[in-house]
Amino acid sequence: MVQNVRRIFDEKPEYLKSSFLERIRTGLPHTCSFITHEKPPKDGIEVLLQDFVIPRHVLAKDGLAPCPICSPVKAKYVKGHLLWSSESKALYAVGHCCGHGFFTEGSLTRALTRNTNAERRRRAEEFIEANWKLPSELVAYWAKLKQSARDLDKVLKAIRVGLRVGVCRDIHRTARDGGYLKVQQRVGHAEAETPEGLKTVERAFGSSPVQGASILRGGSRGPMSVEANMSNLAAALSHVDWKTEDDTVLWICEQVDTDLFRLRDFIEEAIEGIEQVKSDIEALHLFLDADNLRLINSWCRETSGGKGSVSIHNEGGHITIQRGGRRHRSFWLPVRLLNIPQGAPVLQWEN
């Protein structure tokens, strides 16, 4: 057979791995235009992809794949290897049983490593292609949610600082203790001779669990601002200017692995950040519910006494925090926290 110029590669064509994987999602390996159908030479073989698997729907449509080594006429394999020869400068798609015969000392380990990296890249490509609209959608949605997130950061910081670190910590830990606030109680008799005579135990306070305790994570300083982190992600995603899915595929083909993985991470982190903002806003409303605040204020009086207690009150969106019966700070709940923008972007395919 006369070699076609597209089947000659002076250097190992790593860049063709994604094209090959894309091709076998719809057809058999030997139908790729850059695959050579002759039997590969014995020497100078390097593994480009190890253990690729032909999808079930392709097998159902086209049957098994022919191996140029052991079954060039009668197709027989489902799993195979993509090999490149430095001697013939050609690419070969061979069956699993024959491909391992080319793995010399150390090359199997290297092939496994390359295959792991190739699989990771393939999954990143699939993720980005399936969610190609998300970068622009995330930037647009964040523009509507950003001020709400900024207001949320301010309100949460005010509540955390106002309620004191110890109170925030004790309320937040209810999440791991079944949701109920706890108080300490002395039981037993002081006159008893045994060590078990008088001891302190914890008991649940109130008849219902506290709501929205997750907003108090991080004590008075709180965690890193969600708004700041999301703004950084939105700024990065704003540089993605795909207009069509074809633009996305072309971009994917031209990028190195690191850029693909970074973009995938940015998209996932942006989705998580938006969900965190929405979750915190919902938790804030639960926390500021009148019955919930009565429960928290009663617990504070029980555990800290009159002068040392803190309390928080919500009167139609006007929040007041008191310490020892005196007003410590007050503010209005921003209007943007009452209405979360609809239509948040969602992942179409997850890693």
Distance in angstroms (rounded) separating the CA atoms of residues 198 and 223: 40
Place of tokens 């009452």: 338
Where does residue 101 rank: exposed (0-12), middle (13-18), buried (19+ CB within 10 A)? exposed
User: Which residues does residue 322 pair with via DSSP β-bridges, in sequence order?
Assistant: 311, 327
Q: Is the pLDDT confidence value at 220 over 60? A: no
Q: Is the pLDDT confidence value at 32 over 60? A: yes
Question: What percentage of the chain reaches a pLDDT higher than 70?
Answer: 86
pLDDT tens, residue by residue, 73-127 = 888 888 889 999 989 999 999 988 787 667 655 555 666 666 677 788 889 999 9
H/E element, 124: helix 107-130
pLDDT (average), residues 33-52: 86
Among the residues of 131-195, which ranges form H helices? 134-163, 165-172
Query: What are 116's two structure tokens?
Result: 């792991």
CB 321 within 8 A of CB 160: no
pLDDT tens, residue by residue, 247-288 = 998 898 888 889 999 999 999 999 999 999 999 999 999 999
What backbone torsions phi and psi does residue 308 show, to the nearest 5 degrees?
-95, -5
Select from 45, 20, 47, 46 the least CA-distant residue to 34.
Answer: 20
Polymer length in residues for the chain = 351
Q: Is the pLDDT confidence value at 1 over 50? A: no
What's the pLDDT at 166?
86
CB 66 within 8 A of CB 85: no
Q: What is the pTM of this model?
A: 0.64
User: Would you tell me the crossing angle of helices 257-287 and 134-163 to the nearest 10 degrees?
Assistant: 40
Where does residue 81 rank: exposed (0-12), middle (13-18), buried (19+ CB within 10 A)? buried
